[in-house]
Structure 1
Amino acid sequence: MNRKKKFMQKRYTKNLWNMFILPTISILPTFALQSCGDNNSNIDNEKYYTSIKLKNNVNLASLTKDDFIFENLDAKYEIVDFSAKYDDTNKKITIEFKIRGQISQKILKTVVEIIPYANPNKQNIIYDATNNYYASAQGLRGMLLFEELYKLQKSKTSGVGSYTDLYKTYETAFVDKYFEKNNTVLDVYSENPYGQDPYEFKFGEYDGKGGHARDNRLKGKEGWMYNREHMIPQSWFNDDQRIRCDAHFVWPTDKMVNQWRSNNPHYEITNGKTSQNGTKWNSSYCEPIDYFKGDIARAYFYFQLTYNNKGLSNNGSYVFKNVFPFFQENFLKTYQKWANNDSVDIIEIDRNNAIAKAQGGIRNPFIDYPNLPSLIWGNGTETFQNLGVAKTIK
């Protein structure tokens, strides 16, 4: 499936903002190759207008060319001298770039555009108001809100199943109905949200009793099989048997990327190795691709809110601590940033509902209420307002 088709199919996933920088009607007659004098080319009337898509989950404070996807630009042309700056006051992005002929190396056009910016991550969550899961938290904030939600979550953990049950839960909670839409395993370590996946796992191609390899020729390499990845490593909570079986933070992922990640926390890195979908790791940390950073941050938040350092080991204390806010400052700030930049989408809402159904009703509150991090750890005065549970996105 080509990249353009794949983007058009993502109706309900994280939105991309389309910006048509050079309108086709005005550009084509004026800026054909012949008229621009790129005489080294033997193609007449070639198009070099382009459209740009802004990726989701970008850092607006430091936009780069890599934050955008360029479409409809012939391979004989390239974008150079690109810059983009976000004006938060006026909610606009100023974009400047040049189009250069690959053969002649001549600058054919300089483009400067100021574009109104509609945040692609802002979504309208639709709630089931008849569900009173969060009723007891009404009107609370800060540590009081955390404590009340912890009591609520603790009372629901009895519904978490066995370690074997996880593979069954994955068949409803981690299904690719959003990108390729082919009902394969949705794996955050191998999914490419912007193009063709490097490989895909069918359900059953897992490590363990009842499973089998996807391709034994790939033994020890990516694409071999998937297994159960504890986003919060088992060694951090001393392998507590009930905790280790919770699908809200134990996800199906490529076995080898899971192994290479080891027991290291998810965090930002500058140097390291990279998986085929762009996940990075080194000897200290693992950094997921931007598209799934919010998902993983909310898994960490869920773990702390639900288990609150139960069985916390020395390894776990590198990220967590035993007093409010229960996270080491640098990790809390990073996960809050990830959650803000990568907002809740239909994938997470569907996953939350499927896991709740499989695990006796226990939910991830940070998916139902994306503003929870600011209500718990922020400095404002806003309090929790019970709307029910999230059922979809409009």
Structure 2
Amino acid sequence: MRKSIICLISLLLLLGGCDSGVKSFLEVGEGIGTPNGTKVTVEGYIVGVPTAIDYVEQSNFSSDYALALADDPSETDVSNMLFVKLDSDYRSEFGLQTNPDKFGEIIRVDGTRDDYFNHEGVESVTSITLETDSGDDGDSGDGGETIGDYYRSAEGLTGSNLKEELHTIIDDHAELSYDQVWDALRHTDEDPTNSNNVLLLYTGDSISKYENGGLVDEWNREHVWAKSHGDFGTSMGAGTDIHHLRPTDVSVNSTRGNLDFDNGGNLHSEAPDTYYDSDSWEPRDEVKGDVARMIFYMAVRYEGDSGELDLEIADSVGTSGPYLGKLSTLKEWHESDPVDSFERNRNEIIFTDYQGNRNPFIDHPEYVDQIW
């Protein structure tokens, strides 16, 4: 009898069924390597909605039918993801189309390891639970705060109420000096394929991090919300907020000046697919959404309290004062150029390493329509 009990205890320890310090779940990488047909418990970050064997939506979610999990909250490589099929019992609570705030959360899934979309996955799910992020994986702040936690107080709000609450969430943050912006941009806008370079916003060129200054073909610090639209200059606050400061070619920056954003104009000779005229600037398609989301951020962050400017987006061009346009065009750009991995990584770096606040419209693209 004693021998049988010892054997049973040993078996439970091997299976992780006792409180023995044995990990009771698989990480996503381990789950990917587990044979089909195996009952599994997998824990990972929600990183999107799979819609094909090699494609995962990481913004503008189109369904509640499945989730992609990864060990890294910033993962963009589909081969490092596990697809979880959501049956009807779990869609209303965990589907990202209905619950976009769960993007970046950690969940633990019980089910059967089976391919989904011919990609490594989990089906026949019997349980999903939210887990607490106690580590420092880039999507959490002090105390293990996740992206979902960060926006918790804004849940269920729309219109001006949502705008006000998001302002409260992102308002207080560390402020950089204008000199500190140089080093910050070398980090936030680093070329993912060449760590010695930064990527320039309007041209897309990759050039040395240290070819910066005011000379032709160098890069400088572009205020995407032009600093004359509010006359905030380069003072700490709006003038040094790196959520809207980007490296740009000196001469291209000069041409853009303080123009509003809209479609049309003359093709710029140095910036591919970039157009401008006397009152507007149209950047290349690849960064239209980036520009729009930076402008939306500024209009929420700077609301006129505590002696700061009240920046607002106008649905026109040729604006002056603390206004910038054009709202309807920026909303179109936000839809046509969804959030990508470069933006998400940039947002994370600003949050964790520099300012301690986030751009809500990168984390929650749906907020744009809910406010404007």
Say whether the fold is shared (TM-score over 0.5): yes
Residues 141 and 327 (structure 1 numbering): CA distance in 2 closer, same or farther, change over 3 Å? farther
Match of residue 348 from structure 1 = 343
Q: Is the 8 A contact 1:237 1:316 kept in 2?
A: no
Q: Please name the residue that 1:73 is paired with.
A: none
Matched to 2:275, the amino acid is: K
Q: Give the root-mean-square deviation of aligned CA atoms.
A: 3.5
**Correspondence for 2:210:** 204
Q: For the residues of structure 1 that align with 2:189 and 2:170, how far apart are their CA atoms?
A: 22
Amino acid at match of 1:230: H
In the other structure, the counterpart of 2:283 is 288
**Residue 166 of structure 1, CA deviation:** 0.8
What is the deviation of 1:371?
0.8
Structure 1: distance between partners of 2:311 and 2:365: 29
Q: Cα deviation per residue 1:199-257 (whole Å; 9 max; x = unaligned)?
A: x320111116xxxxxxxxxx54xxx2000000011111212522100110011111110
Instruction: Find the counterpart in structure 2 of residue 22 from structure 1.
Output: none
Matched AA of 1:331: K
Q: Which has the higher contact order (CA 8 A, sep 6+)?
A: 1
Q: Contact 2:190/2:197 (CA < 8 Å) preserved in 1?
A: yes
The residue matched to 1:145 in structure 2 has which SS? helix
Q: Does 1:333 align with 2:328?
A: yes
Task: Work out the CA distance in 2 between the residues paired with 1:292 and 1:163.
Answer: 24
Q: CA 1:371–1:236 in structure 2 vs 1: closer, same or farther (change >3 Å)?
A: same
Q: Given that residues 316 and 326 in structure 2 are in contact (C-alpha distance below 8 angstroms), is that contact kept between their aligned partners in structure 1?
A: no
Correspondent of 1:257 among 234, 252, 257 = 252
Report how far residue 372 of structure 1 moved.
0.9
1:141 Cα deviation from its structure 2 partner: 1.2
Structure 2 CA distance for aligned equivalents of residues 230 and 185 of structure 1 = 16
Where structure 2 has 5 or more consecutive residues not aligned to the other structure, the ranges are 1-46, 53-99, 107-144
Q: 2:169 aligns with which of 137, 152, 163?
A: 152
Which residue number in structure 2 is paired with residue 189 of structure 1?
Answer: 202
How far 1:319 sits from its partner (Å)?
Answer: 6.0
Give per-residue Cα distances to partners, 1:50-76, cap 9 Å, x unaligned: xxxxxxxxxxxxxxxxxxxxxxxxxxx
Amino acid at match of 1:161: L
TM, length-normalised to structure 2: 0.55
2:244 and 2:367 map into 1 onto residues whose CA distance is: 18
**SS of residue matched to 1:355:** helix
CA distance in 2, matches of 1:305, 1:287: 22
Contact 1:235 1:313 survives alignment (8 Å):
no
Alignment match, 1:30: none
3-state SS, counterpart of residue 185 of structure 1:
strand
Contact 1:274 1:280 in 2 (8 A): no
Structure 2 counterpart of 1:143: 160
Match of 2:179 among 164, 180, 187: 164
Q: How big is each residue's C-alpha offset from its partner over 1:271-309, in whole Å with a ceiling of 9 and x where there is no partner? A: 353424332222211110001000000000000010036
Contact 2:299 2:310 in 1 (8 A): no
Distance verdict in 2 for CA 1:317–1:162, change over 3 Å = farther
Question: What is the distance in 1 between the residues matched to 2:170 and 2:228?
Answer: 22
Asked whether the equivalents of residues 293 and 361 of structure 2 are also in contact (C-alpha less than 8 Å), the reply is yes
- Per the alignment, residue 232 of structure 2 pairs with 239
Conserved? CA contact 1:227–1:253, under 8 Å: yes
TM-score normalised by the chain length of structure 1? 0.52
Q: Is the 8 A contact 2:297 2:361 kept in 1?
A: yes
Report the residue type matching 1:238 in the other structure. Answer: D
- Aligned with 2:369 (options 339, 363, 374): 374
C-alpha contact (below 8 Å) 1:344/1:367 kept by paired residues:
yes
Aligned residues: 231
Amino acid in the other structure paired with 1:353: E
The Cα shift of 1:176 comes to 1.1
Q: How does 1:1-394 map onto structure 2 within 5 Å? A: 126-128=103-105, 130-131=145-146, 132-156=149-173, 159-177=174-192, 180-181=193-194, 183-191=196-204, 197=205, 200-207=206-213, 220=216, 224-239=217-232, 241=235, 242-308=237-303, 310-311=308-309, 331-377=326-372
Q: What percentage of residue pairs aligned between the two structures are identical? A: 31
Q: From the superposition, tell whether residues 312 and 154 of structure 1 become closer, same or farther in structure 2 (CA, over 3 Å).
A: closer
The 8 Å contact of residues 292 and 333 in structure 2, kept in 1 or not, is answered as: yes
Deviations 1:81-135 (A, max 9, x none): xxxxxxxxxxxxxxxxxxxxxxxxxxxxxxxxxxxxxxxxxx9994146422212
User: Could you tell me how far apart the structure 2 residues matched to 1:125 and 1:289 are?
Assistant: 31
Deviates more, 1:307-316 or 1:143-152: 307-316
